[in-house]
Amino acid sequence: MIYSQAPHPPAILSIGTAVPPYRVEQAAVGQWMSEAFNNDRAMTRWIRSLYKLSGVETRYTCLPDGLRPPEESRFAPGRDPHDTPSTAERMEVYKRESVQVGKEAAYEAITNYSEISGDNIATVTDSITHLLTVSCTGFFAPGLDQMIARQLNLQPSVERTIIGFMGCAAAFNALRLANQIVQAQPSARVLIVCVELCTLHIQPSKKRADLVSAAIFADGGGACLVGIPEAGQSDIFELGGFYTELTPETESFMVWDIGNNGFTLHLASDIPGSLGQVAPRALQELFHNDPPDLQFWAIHPGGRAIVDHLTDIFALAPDQIAPSRTVLRDYGNVSSPTILFVLQEYRKRLRQYPVGSRVDGVAMAFGPGLVTELAHLTYLVSDMQSDADDRKEAHVKSVS
């Protein structure tokens, strides 16, 4: 567990998100999937119910194949596994599409900070000292870290680290590492880029557990810039404490394996129940049994059942969990970047608090292990227009 003691703790200074170009409607995908079970009425009804109750309305994919009729798709349930794309084929798509999505998310984070700080984009880019890339849906070398560094024109001396194959909670590992880097080097600026192309690994399985995964996972990228904020800077998430916990005897609950035809995911049905037992205790550990008045709960929407269960466990009001439900509805589960989508959604809502307020909250996600990751975040509320005017005036004075 890490608590920052610095007068100005490290903070998430800006966030960017991106999705690939192909948008799919959940109702259409449900119909698409059910057509593979035309000879099994019970399965057809189950598929339609699964998609209707998933909490997802739209998702994004890097695969145009996912928009084709089942008889033309190499990913449709019941397809001969030998006729589905090999892992090598899928990695070729990953190599191309992951860089594009990651670059777009990173550029948005850099652009957003440029607008907040008043510095031009080149100045912000040159200030980045560390790059952390996060992904569990593909690998290649020279890797995502080098490709993004080149495409963004980061300094050749930027220090790069890959956080790989850690699943939906991996952004927390990146944030914790960024926090440690900035605490040790207060002048550091750390760019985190999370990219997942989950739909690359859809399997032609007719097993219900596999079909559940195919109903909620999606593609996307999230990025954020971490550093020590300037005096008086707001519209940021200060990083407080972190807590991580591995739950004993749950190794088989969430398994992500590399196969000959893509990566395969196994999800146990009792994941929500297990997380519901761990999360309350983990929250107390995070805050040394003295949690503040938490106004926002950025919970990774791994699925509707998880969100519903934790809402009940923590007795959350609808508005406290609304950003998680909104992200699940509009994007599905994008694995590691999803928490950045949730924080971006929360940021819009937290700006409604009185200017100058400090709003305490918690971020929470889960991954293979089972692992539970938590972080204490404090949002500093700003008057966005007033701040922009002040920065513009200060910039004019500095160059005059």
Instruction: Just list the catalytic residues.
Output: 168
Written as six digits, the tokens of 167 are 């699943």
Query: Strand 296-299 and strand 358-367: pairing?
Result: parallel
Which residues are CB-neighbours of 11 under 8 A, at least 6 positions away?
A: 226, 227, 228, 229, 233, 236, 237, 238, 239, 380
* Ramachandran category for residue 167: left, alpha or beta (phi over 0 → left; psi -120 to 50 → alpha): left
Which residues are CB-neighbours of 18 under 8 A, at least 6 positions away?
A: 101, 102, 104, 105, 108, 220, 221, 222
* Beta carbons within 10 angstroms of residue 309's beta carbon: 17
SS3 label, residue 193: strand
SS3 label, residue 133: strand
Sheet holding 159-164, edge to edge: 159-164, 130-135, 190-197, 219-227, 11-18, 236-246, 371-380, 358-367, 296-299
b/e per residue, 294-304, with b = 16+ CB within 10 A? Answer: bbbbbbbbbbb
Which residues are CB-neighbours of 57 under 8 A, at least 6 positions away?
A: 25, 26, 27, 329, 330
Question: Residue 22's beta-bridge partner residues?
Answer: 61
Written as six digits, the tokens of 180 are 């440690």
* Ramachandran category for residue 206: left, alpha or beta (phi over 0 → left; psi -120 to 50 → alpha): alpha
SS3 label, residue 132: strand
Whether 172 and 366 have beta carbons less than 8 Å apart is answered as no
SS3 label, residue 329: helix
